[in-house]
Amino acid sequence: MKNLELKTEYEVCIPNKSIVGLFNECLKNGKKVIITSDMYLPEDIIKDILSHCGITGYEKLYLSSSIKRTKRTGALFRYILDKENLKPCQLVHIGDTLKSDFIRPKIMGIHTTMITLTKSKVDNTSYLSLLNNVIDYMCQTKEDYFKYLGYRCLGPLLWGYIHWLIKNFQKEDLNKIYFFARDGLIMKKAFDIVNKDERLKSYYLEVSRRSLRVPILWNDPSFINLLTMLSPSKRISLKSIFDGVGLNIIDHIALVRKYGYDLNSYFYRNTILEENRLMLLYNELQNEIILNSKKEFVLMCEYMKQMHVEGRFAVVDIGWSGGMQRFLQKSLGIIGIENEILGYYTGVADYYKRNMNDGKLSLHGYLFDFYNNVNSVDKRSPFVGLYETLFLEQKGSVKNYIRDKNEWLVAERYDYEYQMNGELQEEYYIVEKIQSAALDFINDIEAIEFVKYIPFTPDVLFANLKAVGLSPSRKDLKMLAKFRFFDEGETFSLVSSKSFIYYVFNPRCLKNDLLSSKWKIGFLKCLLKIPFPYFKLYKILKNRN
């Protein structure tokens, strides 16, 4: 690992252009230039780094690691003056550290020039280059597309997110953290690798939108309230409405047909309340919805008590608008359990306000956060399906709660989406590869000491995944487009575009298919197959809809 760190340090060092320019100007004007540093690395490594950065032509190199003296104490400056046979007034020292490069030499009578470094000296492009150099040296699985995707794209994002979580937990003095199923499992695994603070106790809470939403419907079973609980998609299927209230549409097919609908019926959110037949159908379901909701409420609350979900604690999930946090907070309030829930997510979307009807929520986002910053940019919406797929647990979604043979409350799961007739499908192994490689990245980078001092931003750590989502290569589309995505009882391919000619004669289908797509940039690129600013096109189409 030491050799890896030295090799990585050599490759990722980036020259400060303004300082190198000053260095070259001194040489051009015939000045004698000496380089000195308190750096701990061996002299041969430092020389290689300087050469790698284009810094050549200096007279001497004086290092603390070789001479066993430091600038901080002044001993290194005295050594240089003696070796170079110089008086202090004959030496000009240029540096960026207040005590070592300015105060100490100044006291000794050496002329000093203090350089003030600003964050803008190194931009995100430089940090991304540095990150990818680290990745290229650490990654041993570049030949496997999915492992490399996990290592290069999911790993950095997950690593940065976990460090952000820990920083926030410590700042807020939180010591009880619940990671929500299913996306939270990979997050908890990463957290357990990174976290060294024994005060932070983490737990895996087996919940889902369905398992938390259905139990509180009895409190307000109105259709308007239900709309705030469903996925915010502009297109709402009848299947997703039944799924949203915890009922199986197949068991109610006679009622569905009574009102002139079928299993494939869908509606548009902006006009759905004008669908009189749908309102009548829903009214017929209300008694069943309420009875089922009350039954599930009792068991769900008992599960929460069993898991000691009470007091002040954090919940962690992928995002986007705090719905599950809202459902949990409301349930605990109904049964009189004191709680203060702080929610932490990879992103908080601009539609979070729909979850504020039952009380204020405390929401915090890593990549974007409309709750705390109205000027945020939703970075994952053009490829939300691809994004969410990477975090998926390899088990079915939580349906509700049942008692086991010991009367213990356990989560009842739906069948796993990527398992058919008892056989695990290809997607199962792909997700497993991606997540395993992401955790490998975290283990590897945590072992490199100097990386902790590099101020990687969320945007930098997200950049590789964002590039796949917004500017997919042909190989990306070939490997990922047919991946199945499951949401609110429906199944989609991430990209399911038909031919361009088909849509010319069936323009209505184009709108429906695009709205259904969970990777809209991928959809557009598969459809048009030409170099094009697809993200700009996506934004235009989104605004029109």
Last residue of a domain, one of 250, 267, 287: 287
Q: Is a pLDDT exceeding 80 seen at residue 2?
A: no
Mean pLDDT value of segment 386-413? 95
Long-range contact pairs involving 196-201 (C-beta distance under 8 Å, separation at least 24)? 197/166, 197/169, 197/170, 199/175, 200/166, 200/169, 200/170, 200/174, 200/175, 201/175, 201/176, 201/177
| pLDDT reading at 501 higher than 80 | yes
Query: Burial code of 44-82, b = ≥16 C-beta within 10 A, e = fewer?
Result: ebbbebbeeeebeeeeeebbbeeeebebeebebbeebbe
pLDDT of amino acid 137 = 78
pLDDT value at 280 more than 80: yes
The pLDDT of residue 511 is 80
In a domain, 299, yes or no: no
pLDDT at residue 7 above 70? no
- Least-confidence region, from 131-145, 310-324, 397-411: 131-145
| Residue 184 resides in a domain | no
Residue 56 in domain: yes
Is the model more confident about 363 or about 71? 363
Alpha helices in 36-142 (DSSP H): 43-52, 64-67, 75-84, 104-107, 124-138
The span from the CA of 408 to the CA of 295, in Å, is 17
List of residues 6+ apart from 492 with CB closer than 8 A: 385, 484, 485, 486, 516, 517, 518
Q: What is the 3 state secondary structure string of 102-127? A: HHHHHHCCCEEEECCCCHHHCCHHHH
Range with the poorest average pLDDT among 75-79, 162-166, 308-312? 75-79
Mean pLDDT of the 417-437 span: 91
Q: Which of 116, 138, 156 is the last residue of a domain?
A: 116
Within-domain flag for 344: no
Query: Which CATH number fits the domain that encloses residue 57?
Result: 3.40.50.1000
pLDDT above 90 for 161: yes
Per-residue model confidence (pLDDT) at position 8: 60
Angle at 186 between CA 421 and CA 345, to 5 degrees: 120
Question: How far from the centroid of its chain's Cα atoms is residue 9's Cα?
Answer: 26
**pLDDT-derived band of residue 119, with 50, 70 and 90 as boundaries?**
very low
Give the domain-ending residue among 91, 116, 141.
Answer: 116
Segment holding 62, helix H or strand E: strand 60-63
Q: What is the pLDDT, as a whole number, of residue 1?
A: 53
pLDDT in tens, 444-497: 999 887 787 788 999 999 999 999 999 999 999 999 988 887 776 667 778 878
464 lies in a domain? Answer: no
Helix then strand then coil, % of the chain, to nearest 5: 55, 15, 30
CA 470/CA 18 separation, integer angstroms: 34
Mind giving me the DSSP string for 347-415?
EE-TTGGGG-TTS--EEEEEEEETTT-TT---SSGGGHHHHHHTT--SSPPEEEEEE-TTS-EEEEEPP
Assign 207 a pLDDT band (cuts: 50, 70, 90). Answer: very high
What is the mean pLDDT of the segment spanning 63-78?
Answer: 89
Measured between alpha carbons, how far is 315 from 227 in angstroms, rounded to an integer? 24
Q: What is the model's pLDDT at position 120? A: 41
How confident is the model over 322-361, as pLDDT tens digits?
999 999 999 999 999 999 999 999 999 999 999 998 889 9
Q: What is the pLDDT of residues 519-532, one digit of tens each?
A: 989 988 988 888 88
pLDDT at residue 442, as a whole number: 97
How far is Cα of residue 400 from the mean position of the Cα atoms in its chain? 27
Q: How confident is the model at residue 10 (pLDDT cuts 50, 70, 90)?
A: low
Is 518's pLDDT higher than 90?
no
Q: What pLDDT score was predicted for residue 12?
A: 61
Assigned domain for 448 exists = no
Say if residue 5's pLDDT is above 80: no
C-alpha–C-alpha distance, residues 229 and 357, integer Å: 11
Domain hosting 83: range is: 17-116
d(CA 353, CA 371): 8
Mean pLDDT of 272-280: 97
For the cut 50, the answer to whether the pLDDT of residue 387 exceeds it is yes
| Helix/strand/coil for 95 | strand
Only one residue has tokens 């070939």, namely 478
Mean pLDDT of 304-312: 97
What is the total count of domains within the chain? Answer: 2
